């Protein structure tokens, strides 16, 4: 193996490609996301495992005072080890359960009445927004930066 191919292998160039497939919308009530990860490769690679996370990107404020924080709402690890050959397609199905975190404004809003109105006003004044996404990361033994894919998902009542 030449030095150039060793460098390409360490950087994941021509290595494992990850494609995450999840529904565009999932239920807040069921709190489960089902999907699959499709792995392909142009060279033989050793897979040590797969990690799938359900994340919330919580944003508050406007302009210069805008702040964003990420919260992990659910995670699964699939620790199957195998070798993927060039041109081979490997599908990894998963079922990921998750739990919600509530801001103070959301907690007040759920109470209804005057407190609910106060929660709604607070949420609007703080410009609170949440975006949700699923991220899959594949642990490839010989690379420095593991391949991953990320898909946004909407929550329905």
Q: Which residue has the higher pLDDT, 157 or 6?
A: 157
When pLDDT is averaged across residues 97-120 and rounded to a whole number, the result is 57
Rounded Cα distance between 101 and 79, Å, is 27
**Alpha-carbon separation of residue 7 from 45, 83, 86, 137 (angstroms):** 14, 20, 18, 21
Kindly report the pTM of this predicted structure: 0.76
Choose the weakest-confidence range: 51-55, 102-106, 131-135, 139-143: 102-106
Q: What is the pLDDT of residue 105?
A: 47
Task: Compute the distance between CA of residue 51 and CA of residue 72 in angstroms, rounded to an integer.
Answer: 12
HEC states along the chain? Answer: CCHHHHHHHHHCCCCEEEEEECCCEEECCCCEEEEEEEEEECCCEEEEEEEEEEEEEEEECCHHHCEEEEEEEEEEEECCCEEECCCCEEEEEEEEECCCCCCHHHHHHHHCHHHHHHHHHHHHHCCCEEEEEEEEEEEECCCCCCCEEEEEEEEEC
d(CA 102, CA 119): 12
Query: Model confidence at 121, in pLDDT bands (50, 70, 90)?
Result: very low
**Whether the predicted pLDDT of 102 surpasses 80:** no
If you search the block for the tokens 């239920």, which residue do you land on?
A: 27
Query: Given CA atoms 102, 107, 112, 115 in this order, what sign does their dihedral have?
Result: negative
Report phi then psi at 19, rounded to 5. Answer: -125, 120
Residues 139 and 48 sit within 8 Å (Cβ to Cβ) = yes
pLDDT digits (tens, 9 = 90+) for 43-101: 888 999 999 999 999 888 777 878 888 889 999 999 888 899 988 999 999 999 998 76
Most confident of 58-62, 104-108, 111-115, 116-120: 58-62
pLDDT exceeds cutoff 90 at 38: yes
């Amino acid at each position: 193996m030449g030095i150039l191919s060793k460098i390409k292998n360490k950087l994941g160039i021509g290595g494992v490609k990850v494609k995450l497939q999840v529904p565009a919308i999932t239920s807040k009530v069921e709190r489960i996301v089902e999907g699959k990860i499709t792995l392909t490769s142009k060279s033989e690679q050793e897979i040590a495992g797969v990690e799938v996370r359900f994340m919330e990107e919580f944003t508050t404020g406007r302009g210069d005072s805008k702040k964003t924080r990420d919260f992990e709402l659910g995670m699964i690890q699939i620790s199957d080890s195998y070798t993927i050959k060039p041109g081979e397609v490997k599908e990894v199905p998963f079922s990921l359960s998750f739990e919600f975190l509530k801001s103070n404004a959301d907690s007040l809003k759920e109470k209804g009445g005057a407190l609910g109105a106060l929660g709604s006003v607070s949420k609007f004044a703080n410009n609170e927004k949440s975006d949700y996404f699923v991220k899959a990361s594949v642990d490839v033994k010989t690379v420095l930066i593991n391949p991953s894919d990320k898909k946004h998902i909407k929550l329905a009542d």
